[in-house]
Amino acid sequence: MKKVSPPAPKLSDVARLAGVGTTTVSRVLNGRMHVSEETNRRVQQAIRDLSYSPNRIARSLRGATSGMIGMIVPSISDMFFSQCAEAVEKVARENASLLIVMASHDDPSIEFENLQLLLLHRIDGLILASAQTRNTKLHEELSGLTVPVVGLDRPLREANIPSVISENREGAKAATEHLLAHGYSKVLCIHIKPELYPVQERLHGYIEAMQEAGLEPLLYKAENAADAQACILKHIDPAGGVLAVFAANNLAARFTWEALRTLHLAIPSRVAMLCFDDFDLADSLTPPMSVVQQTVDDLGRNAAELLFRRMQGQADGISQTNADPMRLPTRLVIRDSCGCHKIKT
């Protein structure tokens, strides 16, 4: 009769034997702070008693590095984050490291689970585009890590961790000022997901430009094209005056574009448009879309280079707090949708 091998012990088995939770076991395995000496002793004893020693953990307990870095982004299918990940992967390869990318879908609970999984794989560093700017549970966890972390696109305010971000406020303000320079009497700001840090900053930039021009900010959240259509109908001039729209992100621009096509409102003769973030085919639309362009490759590359400098202990002189994140400038790319008939670069 064939001998059946007992199942390999799991993390939950270690936790049960040590009388602690699985999160505490994860903390011990990853060398994190905020674990008492007695708890650490019990967990280490349970690991030995159960022979819980997968290769990756055994190597790490001997002090070796895994040769892997982690990256958590809201969406892998989002072109912005996939392009960032590609830039990070290039730097990782140059440093003989493997990149593991996971998606949070902007869900804090999934983000936390992804963090635990990456730590169990003994990553040497982490790049994080957090689902929420303020997340006490996540930031407490990050503050206790010995693994270097760098924020991307969304600063980690409460965790005292350096970040690489775009000048969202400045870019949105420049875009709004450009529309105002055309003489449009109304400039709407159509947006989605205002709880996200980049969108918050863009809304601030739009509001600043409108207030400095002595005009009332007109902010509208659009979850779909029907929402965008409703706010356009509310403000469109029946006498034929031109309405302007600043779309605070790509999805808002898509909803606005669909609404204008449904309403048969010509761009830019009836509604002028300018969008934050460039995207594939933006310059192939009819008319081509004017955009605020982020240096996406530079964002990913700078975040990765900063992470590896921190991993190698060469981050002297680099800000270790969110008080002064690394800010990369945006660029206003003028095409035809805003009312400029000559494409400029």
Residue type, 310: R
Pairwise CA distance, residues 160 & 112, whole Å: 18
Contact 161, 150 (CB under 8 A): yes
Model pLDDT for residues 65-94, shown as the tens digit of each residue: 778 999 999 999 999 999 999 999 999 999
Q: Which of 151-160, 180-189, 208-217 has the lowest mean pLDDT?
A: 151-160
CA 282 to chain centre: 22
Helix, coil or strand: residue 187: strand
For residue 243, the model assigns a pLDDT of 96
Q: Which of 53-67, 211-225, 249-263, 305-319 has the lowest mean pLDDT?
A: 53-67
Helix, coil or strand: residue 251: helix
At residue 182 the predicted structure's pLDDT band, cuts being 50, 70 and 90, is: very high
User: Does residue 63 have a pLDDT over 70?
Assistant: no
Beta bridge partners of 149: 126
- pLDDT top residue among 290 and 116: 290
For residue 58, the model assigns a pLDDT of 46
For residue 166, the model assigns a pLDDT of 96
DSSP string, 104-134: -TT-HHHHHHHHHHHHHTT-S-EEE--S-S-
Q: Residue 334: which of 274, 270, 269 has the closest Cα?
A: 274
Helix, coil or strand: residue 302: helix
Pairwise CA distance, residues 205 & 23, whole Å: 41
Model pLDDT for residues 117-138, shown as the tens digit of each residue: 898 888 999 999 987 766 777 8
Average of per-residue pLDDT values in the chain: 86
User: Does residue 176 have a pLDDT over 90?
Assistant: yes
Cis preceding linkage at 162, omega within 30:
no
Q: Which domains does the chain have, with CATH numbers?
A: 11-61 (1.10.260.40), 68-161+296-328 (3.40.50.2300), 168-294 (3.40.50.2300)
For residue 22, the model assigns a pLDDT of 78
Exposure string over 159-181, b if 16+ CB within 10 A, otherwise e: bebbbbbbbbbbbbbbbbbbbbe
**Sheet strands (E) in the chain:** 68-73, 98-103, 126-128, 149-152, 163-166, 187-191, 218-221, 243-247, 271-276, 290-293, 326-328, 331-333
Model pLDDT for residues 233-271, shown as the tens digit of each residue: 999 988 888 999 999 999 999 999 999 999 999 999 999
